[in-house]
Amino acid sequence: MKKYKIINLDCPNCAQSLQKNLQKQDFIQDVMIDFSTSTIFLDTQDLERAKKLIGELEEGVEIQEWDQAHQSSSTLSEVIFLGILLASFALSFFISIPILAQFMLYTIYIVAGFPVFKGAYKRLKNKQFFDENFLMFFATIAAFFIGADFEAVAVMLFFRIGEFFENLAVRKSRKNIQSLIDLSPSYAWKKQENGELVKIFPKDLQVGDIVVVKSGEKIPSDGIITQGQSELEEKMINGEPLPRFCKVGDHVFGGSINLLGVLEIQITTPYDKSGISQIISLIDQASMQKSQSERRITEFSKVYTPCVFAIALMIAILPPLFGYGSFHDWIYRALVILMVSCPCALVLSVPLGYFGGIGGASKHGILIKGSNYLEALNQIKFIAFDKTGTLTQGEFEISQIVSFGKYTQEEILRIAMCAEHLSSHPIARSLQKSTQNLPITHHPISHDQIAGKGMSANCCNQRVLAGNKALLESFGITPPQEEIKGTVIYVALQEECIGYIILKDALKKNAKDCIQKLHHMGIETMILSGDQTSSVEEVAQELGIKKAYGGLLPQEKLETFQKYRKEKSAFIGDGINDAPVLSSADVGISMGIGGSDLSKESSDVVLANDDLSKLITALNIAKKTKTITIQNIIFALGVKGIFIVLGIFGFAGMWEAVFGDVGVSLLALANASRILK
């Protein structure tokens, strides 16, 4: 499906209705509308026909290419138009000629209600009877029939004014949310061979192009600095508040802001595959994964409005039939109930609240791939951690090299690097870093990374193995039987174990504090690692984690996790061997910098800068989002319930009914916007 911007769609019920009608069309294969972000995902054989149909179903609504979209700004004209109507309404009070005053009222009603009439007609045409346009049209026409002309006009006029402010609030909320995740650079200065700078779109950059980034500008895509040095603000990429100093040779990320001098950067990744593009794509897709609360509210609204309409009908008919008051009084009360009944406050504020939570999380360097995962985070009772690169820094240092027989320590390193020098695993990267100044050359024929075990390579016509005990045993080699503390890399050559390398790995700076806070929140923790059992137990003891299992293969990790998992459980890891558990968990959480591509694809939440303190932030954001959502549901239903009761007993009129509809929507929307802070 292709993504488009949908313009001038400011009603959540209208969005649902439009999506439902489009799904019925045979020339549209698939369609999904995200009201929170004004986005429509559309798969159609005839785009022009789809555009025309959208305009017919919803007056003034159109779709535009995402890169070229612009919201039509008619705010000033709307204010002038509504001001003239309001002034005319006030003037009708002072006109002493009844016929003229009546004519003015009817004119105001028709002009103010014209969009409502059109909307009601289209709903009736599509056999959809219970949206706000139909209810408002029905209620005001019925008010004319019982002689409440002035109130009918007033309600229609103030309904339009309320809608204006509601739409204004929706647009502002969307703008605030989008500003949190507006990471994408809008242009790039490409350097030509003659030194001339050409302004182009980032998507048009090719690998190898040189771009110039001036002070205050965003880096257009991932690359390497070839000239200059500066401090880069990466807060919107990974949530890190402190700028990072970068110089020639350093890798930089698209979307980072250059704070100081001029940089020349060689592009290493096409824009559509860059980190910034993937982050934006994740956030766009996140809003399509609806939470249970959103789905329940949508289903509830389909039942709620018809039920209220039926109740209003019974209130209008039954009491006077049994001799309790006149039809005039009870019909008026029923009309009040109809005006209050629109569920816009719920349908509008709940999804915006969740998307605000996702946007707020992204501001802190936390990428949540859907409202359903944000909701699930609030229910987590058990979290299992991988060790290396998750709880520990994953930057190992060699503490000891043990050789068996004729091989020197340097030869053990050289042979190990024959297997490890092309691997991206944290252990392999640490060995590569430790041996970068040694005169070691490699002539590999083949490399195989065996998940959860290590590396196998054919180098100089000899098979080299570097990994844990399980790797050696899988090739029929018996490793040393003594228990060795720390992270151990066994090295084998031609079916013989020739030595091992002991590595040490420090804890991440926020790991201990994170675990303590999780325990304080009542969340159980566990470590599941492929590393040596002794090393895993040592880390667990230092962090205060009671359950820890080491020496696990990917399948064993998954089996152990499923054995101990609670009703809502999460797993945090960064390696290829963590992917099965990440996919199995209710919420899979991966590391953004140190994590493998597979782990990030398999996860539901990505901690962009690998900072474990962001896990606590994510849980707090999830809790706040849920709290605000519940507040809005209780507030909207509570206020509407109160006005319905007051309407039944004759204590609330049509004026109060307008507040019960539009006013509640505005207040619920304002409450939902608190999640952005």
Place of tokens 């110039």: 212
pLDDT band of 660, cuts 50, 70, 90: confident
- Report the topology of domain 2-68: Alpha-Beta Plaits (3.30.70)
Read off φ and ψ for residue 31, nearest 5 degrees: -155, 140
Q: What percent of the chain has pLDDT over 90?
A: 13
**Cβ burial 564-600 (10 Å sphere, 16+ → b, else e):** ebeebbbbbbbbbbbbbbbbbbbbbbbbbbbbbebbb
Pairing of strands 257-258, 230-233: antiparallel
What's the token pair of residue 186? 């809008």
- Indicate if the pLDDT at residue 70 is higher than 70: no
Question: In angstroms, what is the C-alpha Rg of the chain?
Answer: 32
Catalytic residue positions, numbered: 386
CA distance 586 to 592: 19
What's the token pair of residue 141? 């026409």
- CB proximity list for 450: less than 8 A, separation 6 or greater: 456, 467, 471, 474
pLDDT band of 616, cuts 50, 70, 90: very high
With contact defined as beta carbons under 8 Å apart, do 675 and 352 qualify? Answer: no
Environment class of 632 (CB within 10 Å of its CB; exposed 0-12, middle 13-18, buried 19+): buried
Task: Report the side by side order of strands in the sheet with 28-34.
Answer: 28-34, 39-44, 2-7, 62-65
Model confidence pLDDT, tens digit, residues 208-241: 999 999 888 888 888 999 999 988 887 666 556 5
The confidence score (pLDDT) of residue 365 equals 80
- Indicate if the pLDDT at residue 654 is higher than 80: no
Pairing of strands 454-459, 462-467: antiparallel
With contact defined as beta carbons under 8 Å apart, do 17 and 126 qualify? Answer: yes
The more confident residue out of 256 and 169 is 256
- Chain centroid to CA 564: how far? 29
For the ranges 123-127, 602-606, 630-634, the lowest mean pLDDT is seen at: 123-127
What is the residue-averaged pLDDT of the chain?
80
With contact defined as beta carbons under 8 Å apart, do 315 and 333 qualify? Answer: yes
pLDDT band of 36, cuts 50, 70, 90: low
Model confidence pLDDT, tens digit, residues 352-397: 778 778 877 877 888 888 788 888 899 999 999 998 888 988 777 8
The confidence score (pLDDT) of residue 264 equals 94
- CB proximity list for 180: less than 8 A, separation 6 or greater: 359, 360, 362, 363, 676
- Report the topology of domain 206-269: 2.70.150
- Indicate if the pLDDT at residue 44 is higher than 70: yes
What's the token pair of residue 202? 């980032």
The CATH number of the structural domain formed by 397-504 is 3.40.1110.10
Mean pLDDT of 268-297: 66
Q: What pTM did the predictor assign?
A: 0.65
Model confidence pLDDT, tens digit, residues 385-414: 998 888 988 777 888 899 887 888 888 888
Model confidence pLDDT, tens digit, residues 489-505: 999 988 889 999 988 87
The domain ranges of the chain are: 2-68, 206-269, 397-504
- Indicate if the pLDDT at residue 93 is higher than 80: no
Read off φ and ψ for residue 5, nearest 5 degrees: -90, 130
The four Cα atoms 249, 250, 256, 260 give a dihedral, to 10 degrees, of -70
Mean pLDDT of 36-45: 78
The confidence score (pLDDT) of residue 213 equals 92
CA distance 161 to 137: 16
- Chain centroid to CA 531: how far? 33
